C-alpha cells in the first residue's frame, strides 16, 4: 500500500499545482477520466479503472472554474476518488459518491494553498525591488510548491496508506439501501454540471441547438463525435446566416 | 545614439513558454497570477533593461501587480506587453501607466472568451468523446483527451501570444470591439449547445422503477414515459436544476438539494 499511497499522493500534488499549465489542464479538468486509466494500470485492472473514471467524469463534465474556484477539488476527487473506489472494489456508479465528499474536503486543501501562497509573493516583491530575477523565479517555481505539497500530498497519502484497508471493509458493511441512494446521487449529479454549463452558454439564438443535440442522442442514438460534427456544420451555417443578417 | 534593443524570436518563444508553463503555478487569493506574470516577463526585462539597474527594478515591481486571466487566450497579453516594453525601452513615448492599464483592461475580456471557449466548448467536447470511448473500455479515450487538450493549449496560446506581440494594442482593441469575435463566439456557443443537449440524454442516467398493478394489467411507468419521449426524466431533472441555478442558488446549495432529493426519491422507490 505504501507504493500506491506515494504515487497517488504525488499525482494529487502534481496535477493540482506542479505540472506545467498546458499539461495540467487535461490532467485536472479530466481528472477522473485520466485517473481511470492511470489507476487501472497501477492496480492492474484497466477496464475497471476506465469504467470508474468515465462514470465519475460524467458528473464533472460541465463544471467550470471561473476566476479560480470550483465547488469540488478535481485533483482530489479524481485521483484519490477513483483510487479509493477501486481499492474498495466498488461499483463504478457508486464511485461518484466516494469522489464528491473527498472533492469537497479537497476544496480545503485548495483554499489553504491559495491563502498561504501570498507569503512567497511578498518575498518576491522584495526580490523585485532589489532587481533579483533569480529570486523571483525561485519563489514562483519552487517556494510556491511547499504548501500544495503539504495540503495535497500528505492527506492523499494518509488516506490511501491508512484508510485503504478500513475503507474496503467499511464500504462492505454499508447496507444496500444506502448504496442505492449513493448510486442515485451519482446519476443525478451530472445535471448540476450540465446546468452550470448551460448558464455559461445560454443565448436565446442558440437554444434550438440544445434540442437538436438532445434529439440526436435520445432518439437517434448518435455518439458524441458525430453529434459534434453535425454541430460544427450547423454552427458554420449559423455564422453565415448571422453575417448575412448583419449585412442586410 | 545607442543601438536598438530588440527582442529576438528566441526571447519571445521563451517568454511564451514560461507563461504557458508557469504563469499560474503560484496561484493565490491575493494576486492570483501576479507572480507568474512577473516571472514570464523576466526574459524581456533582462534583455531590455538589463544595463540599467533602476529601470530593471521598476519593471519587475510593475509586473508583480494583481493579474488574472485565462491561460491560452490570455497569452495575448504578455505578447502585447512585450511589444510595448520593447518600444518603451527604445525611447518611444509609452508610459508605464498605459502598460499597466492595458493589462488590467484586457485580462477580463480575454478571460471571458477563454473560459467560454476552453472550458465550456473544447473541454466538454473532448471529454464527451473521451468518456464515450472509455465507457466502451477503450483506453485510448483518456489518452486522446490529454493529447488533444494539450495540443489546444499549446497552439492557441502560441498563436495568441505572437499575434499580441505583432499587432500591439490597437488591433486587439479593434478585434475585441468588432462584430467578428461576437459572431465567432456565438457560433462556437452553438456547437457547445448541441453537445450539451446530447450530454443531457447520455449522462443523466436516472429512470423510475415504479410499477402499478391494476387487477391483471401491469403498468411499468418507465415504459409509459419512454413512449411519450425517451430520456424524459433526465431532461426534466436538467430543467429543474437549471431553474434553481437561474434563480441564484449557489452550485454547492444545489448539490446539497440533489443529495437530499436522492435520499428521499430512492427510499420511496420513485427513482433509481
Nearest-CB residue to A64 (from B115, B137, B138): B115
Is there a contact between B271 and A68 if contact means CB atoms under 8 Å apart?
no
Same domain, B163 and B32: yes
CB contact under 8 A, A228 and B128: yes
Q: Does one domain contain both B253 and B165?
A: no
Residue-range domain boundaries for chain A: 2-190, 203-248
Same domain, B123 and B227: no
List all residues of chain B from 183 to 242 with a beta carbon under 8 Å from chain A. Answer: 183-184, 186-206, 229-231, 234-235, 237-238, 240-242
pLDDT at B1: 43
Q: Which residues of B touch A59 (CB under 8 A)?
A: 203
A26-78 pLDDT, tens digit each? 999 999 999 999 999 999 999 999 999 999 998 888 776 655 556 678 999 99
Domain edge (last residue) among B169, B191, B213: B191
Q: What is the average pLDDT score of chain A?
A: 88
Cell of residue B154, nine digits:
499549446
Q: What are the two backbone dihedrals, phi and then psi, of residue B13, each rounded to the nearest 5 degrees? A: -60, -40
B87 & B216 share domain: no
pLDDT, position B113? 81
Considering the domain architecture, whether residues B178 and B229 belong to the same structural domain is answered as no
Burial call B38-49: b when 16+ CB within 10 Å, e when fewer: bbbbbbbbbbbb
As a whole-number percent, the residues of chain A with pLDDT over 90 amount to 54
CA distances from B50 to B1, B44, B100, B253 (A): 17, 9, 20, 53
Supply φ then ψ for residue A70, to 5 degrees. -130, 150
Last residue of a domain, one of B159, B191, B223: B191
Same structural domain for residues B68 and B176?
A: yes
pLDDT in tens, A128-180: 999 999 999 999 999 999 999 999 999 999 999 998 778 777 777 778 888 78
Question: Closest partner residue to B120 among A64, A129, A231, by Cβ?
Answer: A64
Residue numbers in A near B248 (CB within 8 A): none
Domain co-membership, B171 together with B235 = no
Bridge partners, residue B217, by sequence: B214
> Nearest-CA residue of chain A relative to B187?
A235
pLDDT at B175: 53
Give Cα separations from A182 to A79, A173, A174, B94 (angstroms): 19, 14, 11, 60
What pLDDT score was predicted for residue B35?
96
Which CA distances in Å does B250 have to A201, B126, B127, B136, B242? 18, 27, 24, 34, 11
Burial of A46 (0-12, 13-18, 19+ CB in 10 A): middle
Q: Is residue B198 included in any domain, yes or no?
A: no
Contacts of A68-71 with C-beta under 8 Å, sequence gap 24+, read A68/A114, A68/B27, A68/B32, A68/B68, A70/A107, A70/A110, A71/A104, A71/A107, A71/B251, A71/B252, A71/B255
Mean pLDDT of A181-191: 82
> In this predicted model, what pLDDT tens digit does every residue of A203-227 receive, in sequence order?
888 899 999 999 999 999 998 888 8
pLDDT in the model for residue B167: 75
**In angstroms, rounded to a whole number, what is the distance separating the alpha carbons of residues B204 and A207?**
19
Length of chain A: 248
Q: How many domains are there within chain B?
A: 2
List the domain range (segments joined by +) for residue B131: 9-191
Which of B163, B191, B219 marks a domain boundary? B191
Reading the block at residue A59, the C-alpha cell is 458528473
Q: Say yes or no: B129 and B182 in one domain.
A: yes
Alpha helices by DSSP H, listed for chain A, are 2-13, 21-29, 31-43, 46-60, 74-75, 81-87, 95-116, 118-130, 133-141, 146-148, 154-173, 176-188, 190-201, 207-218, 224-247
Minimum CA–CA partner of B244 in chain A: A195
Contacts of A34 in chain B (CB under 8 A): 142, 145-146
Q: How far is B245 from chain A (nearest CA, A)?
A: 7
In the predicted structure, residue A232 carries a pLDDT above the cut 60:
yes
- Clarify whether residues B100 and B220 are in a common domain: no
pTM: 0.80
Taking the alpha carbons of A209, B114, A60, B258 in that order, is the dihedral positive or negative?
negative
Per-residue pLDDT of chain B (272 residues; tens, 9 = 90+): 457 888 999 999 999 999 999 999 999 877 889 999 999 999 999 999 999 999 999 999 999 988 888 999 999 999 999 998 998 888 877 778 778 877 876 787 788 788 878 988 899 999 999 999 999 999 999 999 999 999 999 999 999 999 999 877 565 544 554 556 667 777 878 888 888 899 899 888 899 999 998 888 888 999 999 999 999 999 999 999 999 999 998 877 887 898 899 999 999 999 98
Is-contact A140 A124, C-beta < 8 A? yes
Q: What per-residue confidence (pLDDT) applies to B177? A: 47
Whether B160 and B236 share a structural domain: no
Chain B within 8 Å of A229 (Cβ-Cβ)? no
Complex ipTM: 0.81
For residue A188, the model assigns a pLDDT of: 87
Amino acid at each position: 500500500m505504501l507504493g500506491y499511497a506515494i504515487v497517488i499522493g504525488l499525482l494529487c500534488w502534481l496535477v493540482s499545482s506542479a505540472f506545467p499549465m498546458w499539461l495540467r489542464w487535461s490532467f485536472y479538468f479530466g481528472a477522473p477520466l485520466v485517473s481511470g486509466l492511470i489507476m487501472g494500470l497501477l492496480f492492474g485492472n484497466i477496464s475497471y479503472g476506465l469504467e470508474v473514471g468515465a462514470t465519475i467524469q460524467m458528473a464533472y463534465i460541465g463544471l467550470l472554474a471561473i476566476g479560480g474556484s470550483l465547488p469540488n477539488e478535481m485533483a482530489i476527487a479524481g485521483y484519490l476518488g477513483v483510487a479509493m473506489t477501486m481499492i474498495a472494489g466498488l461499483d463504478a456508479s457508486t464511485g461518484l459518491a466516494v469522489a464528491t465528499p473527498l472533492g469537497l474536503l479537497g476544496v480545503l486543501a485548495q483554499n489553504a494553498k491559495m491563502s498561504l501562497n501570498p507569503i512567497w509573493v511578498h518575498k518576491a516583491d522584495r526580490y523585485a525591488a532589489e532587481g533579483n530575477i533569480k529570486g523571483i523565479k525561485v519563489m514562483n517555481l519552487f517556494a510556491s510548491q511547499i504548501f500544495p505539497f503539504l495540503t495535497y500530498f500528505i492527506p492523499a497519502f494518509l488516506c490511501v496508506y491508512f484508510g485503504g484497508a478500513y475503507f474496503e471493509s467499511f464500504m462492505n458493511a454499508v447496507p444496500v439501501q444506502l448504496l442505492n441512494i449513493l448510486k442515485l446521487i451519482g446519476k443525478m449529479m451530472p445535471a448540476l454540471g450540465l446546468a452550470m454549463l448551460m448558464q455559461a452558454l445560454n443565448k436565446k439564438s442558440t437554444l434550438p441547438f440544445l434540442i437538436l443535440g438532445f434529439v440526436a442522442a435520445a432518439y437517434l442514438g448518435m455518439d458524441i463525435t458525430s453529434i459534434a460534427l453535425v454541430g460544427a456544420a450547423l454552427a458554420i451555417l449559423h455564422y453565415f446566416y448571422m453575417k448575412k443578417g448583419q449585412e442586410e | 545614439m545607442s543601438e536598438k534593443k530588440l527582442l529576438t524570436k528566441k526571447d519571445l518563444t521563451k517568454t511564451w513558454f514560461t507563461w504557458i508553463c508557469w504563469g499560474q503555478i503560484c496561484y493565490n487569493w491575493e494576486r492570483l497570477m501576479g507572480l507568474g506574470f512577473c516571472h514570464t516577463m523576466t526574459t524581456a526585462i533582462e534583455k531590455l533593461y538589463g544595463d540599467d539597474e533602476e529601470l530593471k527594478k521598476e519593471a519587475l515591481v510593475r509586473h508583480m501587480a494583481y493579474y488574472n486571466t485565462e491561460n491560452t487566450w490570455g497569452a495575448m497579453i504578455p505578447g502585447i506587453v512585450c511589444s510595448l516594453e520593447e518600444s518603451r525601452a527604445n525611447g518611444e513615448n509609452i508610459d508605464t501607466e498605459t502598460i499597466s492599464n492595458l493589462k488590467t483592461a484586457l485580462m477580463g475580456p480575454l478571460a471571458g472568451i477563454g473560459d467560454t471557449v476552453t472550458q465550456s466548448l473544447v473541454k466538454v467536447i473532448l471529454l464527451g468523446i473521451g468518456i464515450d470511448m472509455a465507457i466502451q473500455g477503450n483506453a485510448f479515450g483518456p489518452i486522446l483527451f490529454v493529447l488533444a487538450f494539450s495540443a489546444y493549449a499549446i497552439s492557441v496560446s502560441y498563436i495568441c501570444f505572437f499575434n499580441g506581440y505583432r499587432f500591439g494594442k490597437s488591433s486587439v482593441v479593434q478585434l475585441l470591439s468588432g462584430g467578428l469575435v461576437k459572431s465567432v463566439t456565438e457560433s462556437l456557443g452553438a456547437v457547445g449547445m448541441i453537445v450539451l443537449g446530447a450530454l443531457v440524454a447520455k449522462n443523466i442516467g436516472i429512470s423510475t422503477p415504479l410499477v402499478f398493478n391494476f387487477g391483471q394489467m401491469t403498468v411499468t411507468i418507465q415504459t409509459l414515459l419512454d413512449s411519450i419521449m425517451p430520456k424524459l426524466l433526465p431532461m426534466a431533472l436538467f430543467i429543474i436544476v437549471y431553474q434553481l441555478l437561474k434563480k441564484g442558488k449557489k452550485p454547492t446549495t444545489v448539490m446539497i438539494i440533489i443529495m437530499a432529493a436522492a435520499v428521499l426519491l430512492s427510499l420511496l422507490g420513485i427513482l433509481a
